[in-house]
Structures are given as C-alpha cells and as structure tokens.
C-alpha cells in the first residue's frame, strides 16, 4: 500500500476509534503492511501533525495510539461541554489508585496500612470503573487478593505505560494541591476529564 494512502487510513481509524489502537490492531486492517511499516507510517503521521501546527496530535497512550486535543485548548473544550455530567474521582480514590499504581501488586491490607483508613469502598469504586484489577492472591496466610492497574487506567490518565508514572511521593505532593494534568492534553471524548486529578466540588 502506498504510504500516503496508508497514513490516511490510519488517521481515519484513529479518529473513529473510542480507544487507543495498538499496531497489532492496525495490522488487522492494513494486512498487506508489516508492523514495522505501519509504525513508520504512524510516526510520519505524528510528524505531519506537529509540523502543521494542528490543535490535535497523535499520542501513544495505553500501549496504543490516539488522536487527542492539545492541552492549551482544554479550557475551550470544557466550556463547550460544561453541562455534561462528569464523574471525577474523589481524593480518597486518587490516593488509593496512586498507591496501587506505584506499589502493585498490592493487597488491601497493605493499601490500608499506607493510607491509615479502610479501603473497602474505594477499591470497589475503582474496580467498578475498571481502573484496577485482581492480579491473583498473595501466598501468605489468608491468601489475600492482589490488586494492580488496568489498561483503562493508562488510557484515563494519558500514560503510554507504567514507566511514565511519577514517584508516589510526587503524586502525593500534587494531590495535596488538588490537580494533576498529564502531558498529553485532553482526550476529545473525555472533554478534559482524562488526566485530571481535580477534586470534586
């Protein structure tokens, strides 16, 4: 497939997808191209967006690629969707999620030991929102459940992978200020919610 046409196809796929697309998933559509060729096309497409100065960019998030809006336009997008009901995470949920992300695999007792309060309700909320998952059981007395983060967690906060996580101490510091914004700007569908550590009002 000619590279210009391939880039156009990839751009369409990223635009219509409601989740990041991995190279392997793009390969299912572009089956006459190798994964290396597809990655090269994606890289060129990213450069096209950068050099054209578009308000959108193609970013690698949750082990895939998405088209997102740039951070400097977030306030305008929020105004457009100001009447939309959003479900922000509470500070308690964010603190618990930060611990799980940085210390995984981790048990409920270990989380409670770090936070100093019960984690039952918060863990249920995070599990229901598919931000954490059960990894197995710890081989100790009682065999408690082990928790870790999900791919949805990476997507929610605009992270490529877990290596982009700040240290737990740094997360706790910014949580004290109430907000945290990832480098990837705002995801069009989430209209400013993605990557936001804003405390509910």
Write out pLDDT tens, residues 128-149. 999 999 999 999 998 999 999 9
Where is 147: in which H helix or E strand? strand 145-149
Q: What is the mean pLDDT of residues 97-111?
A: 92
Sign of the CA dihedral with 68 first, then 72, 75, and 77 last = negative
What's the pLDDT at 63? 87
CA separation for the pair 165, 123 (Å, rounded): 20
Q: Of the given ranges (86-100, 113-127, 162-176), which has the lowest mean pLDDT? A: 162-176
Length of the chain equals 201
Q: Which residue has the higher pLDDT, 198 or 119?
A: 119
CA separation for the pair 183, 167 (Å, rounded): 16
**Is residue 42's pLDDT more than 60?**
yes
pLDDT band at 181 (very low <50, low <70, confident <90, very high): very low
Reference 112, options 120, 104, 124; nearest CA is: 120
> Residue 196: what pLDDT?
36
pTM over 0.75: no
d(Cα 188, Cα 193) in Å, to the nearest integer? 9
Question: Which DSSP letter does residue 43 get?
Answer: H
């Amino acid at each position: 497939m000619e590279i210009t046409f391939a880039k156009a196809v990839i751009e369409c796929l990223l635009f219509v997808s409601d989740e990041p697309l991995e190279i392997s998933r793009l390969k299912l559509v572009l089956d006459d191209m190798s994964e290396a060729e597809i990655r090269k096309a994606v890289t060129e497409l990213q450069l096209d967006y950068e050099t054209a100065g578009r308000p959108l960019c193609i970013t690698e998030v949750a082990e895939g690629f998405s088209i997102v809006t740039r951070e400097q336009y977030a306030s305008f997008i929020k105004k457009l969707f100001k009447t939309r009901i959003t479900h922000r995470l509470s500070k308690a949920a964010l603190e618990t999620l930060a611990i799980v992300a940085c210390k995984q695999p981790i048990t409920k007792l270990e989380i409670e030991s770090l936070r100093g309060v019960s984690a039952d309700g918060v863990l249920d909320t995070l599990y229901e929102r598919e931000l954490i998952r059960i990894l197995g059981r710890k081989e100790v007395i009682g065999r408690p459940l082990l928790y870790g983060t999900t791919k949805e967690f990476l997507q929610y906060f605009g992270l490529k992978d877990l290596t982009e996580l700040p240290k737990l101490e740094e997360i706790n510091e910014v949580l004290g200020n109430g907000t945290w914004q990832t480098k990837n700007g705002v995801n069009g569908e989430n209209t400013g919610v993605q990557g936001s550590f804003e405390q509910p009002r």
